[in-house]
Structure 1
Amino acid sequence: MQIVPVIMAGGSGTRLWPLSRSLFPKQFLALASNVSMLQQTIERTAGLPCEKTVLLCNEEHRFLVAEQLRTINYQGARILLEPAGRNTAPAIALAAFDIVAKQKDSLMMVMAADHVINDQSAFEKSVLNAVELAQQGKLVTFGIVPNAPETGYGYIKRGTELQDSAYAVDAFVEKPNLETAQSYLTSGEYYWNSGMFMFKASTYLASLREFAPAIYEACQQAYNEKSEDLDFIRAGKDAFLSSPDDSIDYAIMEHTSQAVVVPMDAGWCDLGSWSALWEIDHKDDAQNSTHGDVILHNTTGSLVRATSRLVTTIGLEDIIIVETKDAVLVAAKDQVQDVKEIVNKLKQEDRSEFKHHRDVYRPWGHYDSIDCGDRYQVKRITVKPGAKLSVQMHHHRAEHWIVVSGTAKVTNGDKEVLLTENQSTYIPVGVIHALENPGKIDLELIEVQSGSYLGEDDIVRFADNYGRV
């Protein structure tokens, strides 16, 4: 039986701010390798007998997902959009309904998009060890063999051995205190709860119907009311929002008698904090982890990441420093869990640093907001070959476009013109306009906006290649 990877790519990753933002969360970042964690998760399935992946993500992240699939040339994935976060049980239900709707009852290998696994062969061995049990109708969860008394994870206590390296689940245990975690480690009977699962799609849906019928009914209706838009499958909004907000553990795994745990000792890490990244990252002789343009002096046990400028340190120990174009985080390594408090303040004040980076990605390319003032804003815009921005107009701002490289096809009112390097145009307030890259290389231009209001919500779209009208 083939395995369908089901990758959950929702979540905001607030504890890895300022690199992780609500509109560009950690699963889309290259933190532990030269590709993003989402891309790593997809590539992790290449050595297994897998069908094409089903991806679950938030509506606002859909173009990020599509672009990351494109850059690794991964085709054929089904991208299911959640209108809003409703935890893991409803998300997995949408994937299960989609698999069954294709008249298949494949095995679902459920994974989060933001985990690190360093031992690929051990990962594959555990997955293959779970196949027979899942085919028998068991609900398999993967328990990480602990190497420390970790208080930040839930645990799974194993029961009767069912086959070699597979056990009935005796209990799911909440995050323990240090003393209890040490006793779990000593006993050898407990595993970290990884949040990875394997089961048949029909088994999951039957269990959901038995133990959480409200989730089953809401998600069944949401899937039946789905609409397809480009590469995306959009669940019915009202029905999905009516679903209870529950995890798969709470909804099913803690109640079923068919829960099985398969141990996995594969160098697994849930990158939930900067200290966790420091733990797994390459370090120098002074136990420092550095990325970017960094110079250290008398510094030990620290993580320093620079993305846009030189960062230097003197006389520091056990410090986290993360620099981006628009924000800098400096924290004691043992207090990085409190990053979420900073993020909450940014959210309460409706600051842009909560939502996105200075570099903002769109389906047609990206832009960098390089300067702004009371009545002006300057952006550097990059448009991919063949891509086109929506046909639009603005009520409150005019725009000047200067081409830096490439060729721009510009619609300006009732006129259409081609602009090349060093040429420019002016778009008055209220004029319908569009920008397209008809060439074979990236189009780069400088946009100068001026007016009484410069927000991104001052866009009236008349036509759009990406379904945003």
Structure 2
Amino acid sequence: AGEGTLIEQTVKRLQKVPETKEIFLISNSRFRERLDSMFPGIFKILEPIGKNTAPACAVANEYTLRKYGEIILGIFPSDHFIREDEIFIEAVEEAKGLAQKGYIVTIGMKPTRPETGYGYIERGEKIGKRSYKAIKFHEKPDRETAEKYISSGNFYWNAGMFVWRTDVFDESVKKFMPEFYKVLKESKFPEELDKIYKEAPEISVDYAVMEKADNIAVVEGEFFWEDLGSFPSLFKVLNTDEKGNLILGGAVVSECRNSLFIQRGPVIAAYGLSDIIVISTDDVVLVIPMSEAQNIKKLRAILKEKGLEKLL
């Protein structure tokens, strides 16, 4: 699918963006050793506990604001597969221009199928070559609603890529997350990261800021994109067998169709399955219908209640 891991591809891609002063990573502390070995010269914000994307974005913005003052900051997930880096960079450059004017910008992807696993962004007035004011962020729809979104031609997939000016986003955190904003401003960084995350709300940046702010813009990403945080999307970039199965590892599979098998632990032996995801690791075996893949977060919540959240 490309040279290196997805996170390595992401870093290399961002190194091509003009006038980039620094690339840093924000991830979970359990990946410390792996990230240090992969990126020895890159600063890392290592979260003691995951609290979704709003605290991560706010902490990343606070780090950047303290170090550089008023500057453009981009947020890019590391599990996205992107082709056509030049077109990606063009979109980022347009987003930077809008961010400089005071917009909080998201790069949206034109939907190619009625996907129910992504949120959608509704576009309004055109304000640039490939950019629009964003009217509304819509939660993950059912299939019928997703089909309506596509036929209207006014919706993009919410790809979780954002560009903003640090002082503008800082004001949004102050306005929409006032209690957490106070904690951020009163804490030493990064020495008091544990304290910051202890007080952080568990909420996505979409819910916390994007759905409430009135200065949101969307730039259409015209490059090839897949979010490989979604298991079914692996089928878009990796080769399947003659029956449509994607087999990673040494799984023993017979008479199965359109299924995903990832073996990183005990041997998977499967017969007669259709449209199923089976993943084995040293600690856990996951089995879920392909159609329910987006509900893994619900399963994670159940495991968390039982004190087993580290398994997924």
Partner of 1:47: 16
Once the 2 structures are TM-superposed, how far is the Cα of residue 145 of structure 1 from its aligned partner?
0.7
Task: Specify which of 348, 355, 378 is matched with residue 310 of structure 2.
Answer: 355
Q: Give the equivalent residue in structure 1 for 2:232.
A: 275
For 2:251 and 2:204, how far apart are their aligned partners in 1? Answer: 41
Taking the aligned partners of 1:215 and 1:61, their CA distance within structure 2 comes to: 25
What are the within-5 Å matches in structure 2 for residues 386-405 of structure 1?
A: none
1:213 and 2:182 aligned: no
> Which sections of structure 1, spanning at least 5 residues, go unmatched?
1-31, 227-232, 358-469
2-structure distance, mates of 1:247, 1:323: 28
Q: Which residue of 2 aligns with 1:257?
A: 214
Q: Distance in 2 between matches of 1:168 and 1:339?
A: 32
Equivalent-residue separation in structure 1 for 2:294 and 2:119 (angstroms): 17
Given that 2:254 and 2:270 are in contact with CA atoms closer than 8 Å, whether structure 1 keeps it comes out as: yes
- Give the drift of 1:252: 2.7
Q: Secondary structure at the match of 1:163?
A: coil
User: CA separation of 1:57/1:291 partners in 2, compared to 1, >3 Å: closer, same or farther?
Assistant: closer
> What is the CA deviation profile of residues 376-399 of structure 1, one whole-angstrom value per residue up to 9, with x for unaligned ones?
xxxxxxxxxxxxxxxxxxxxxxxx
**CA distance 1:38–1:235, shift in 2 (3 Å):** farther
> Corresponding residue for 2:35?
65
Q: Quick one: higher RCO (CA 8 Å, sep 6+), 1 or 2?
A: 2
TM-score by length of 2: 0.85
The CA deviation at 1:211 is 3.8
Supply the RMSD in Å over aligned alpha carbons.
Answer: 3.0
2:25 counterpart letter in structure 1: L
The equivalent position to 1:197 in structure 2, one of 147, 150, 162, is: 162
Percent of aligned pairs with the same residue?
32
**Alpha-carbon offset, residue 170 of structure 1:** 1.3
Instruction: Report the Cα offset of residue 246 of structure 1.
Output: 3.6
Q: Name the CA shift for 1:103/1:128 in 2 (closer, same or farther; >3 Å).
A: closer
Instruction: Assess, with a 3 A threshold, how the Cα gap between structure 1 residues 330 and 33 changes in structure 2: closer, same or farther.
Output: farther
* Of 95, 102, 107, the match for 2:60: 95
Checking the alignment, whether the CA contact within 8 Å between 1:293 and 1:309 is kept in structure 2 is no
Q: CA deviation at 1:317?
A: 3.0
- Residue of 140, 160, 171 corresponding to 2:136: 171
Task: Tell me whether 1:108 sits opposite 2:68 in the alignment.
Answer: no
Q: Which has more strand, going by share of residues?
A: 1
1:59-458 superposed matches below 5 A: 59-70=29-40, 75=41, 77-222=42-187, 225-226=188-189, 233-294=190-251, 296-307=253-264, 311=268, 313-337=270-294, 339=296, 355=310
Choose between structure 1 and 2: higher helix proportion. 2
Deviates more, 1:48-57 or 1:341-350: 341-350
Between the aligned partners of 1:349 and 1:211, the Cα distance in structure 2 is 32
Q: Flag the structure with larger Rg.
A: 1
Name 1:436's counterpart in structure 2. Answer: none
List gaps (5 residues or longer) in structure 2: none
The CA distance in 2 between the partners of 1:147 and 1:266, in whole Å, is 12
Instruction: Label 1:45 to 1:275 Cα distance change in 2 as closer, same or farther (>3 A).
Output: same
Describe the superposition over 1:83-136 as per-residue Cα deviations: whole angstroms up to 9, x where unpaired: 433433332222222222224433111112233323433322211221211122
Q: Distance in 1 between matches of 2:209 and 2:290?
A: 36
What TM-score, normalized by structure 1, do the two folds share?
A: 0.59
- The 3-state SS of whatever aligns with 1:219 is helix
SS class of match (2:58): helix
SS in 2 for 1:197: strand
Structure 1: distance between partners of 2:298 and 2:209: 32
Q: In structure 1, the residue corresponding to 2:291 is in which secondary structure? A: helix
Change (3 A) 1:54 1:187: same
- Measured after TM superposition, the shift of residue 164 of structure 1 is 1.0
Cα offsets for 1:195-223 (capped at 9, x unmatched)? 1110111221133224433332221222x
Q: Matched residue of 2:39: which SS? A: helix
Q: Which amino acid aligns with 2:136?
A: A
Q: Shift of the alpha carbon at 1:331? A: 4.1
* 3-state DSSP of counterpart to 1:67: helix
Go from structure 1 to structure 2 and tell me whether the alpha carbon gap of 1:334 and 1:168 turns closer, same or farther (over 3 Å shift): closer
Per the alignment, residue 26 of structure 2 pairs with: 56
Q: 2:7 corresponds to which residue? A: 38
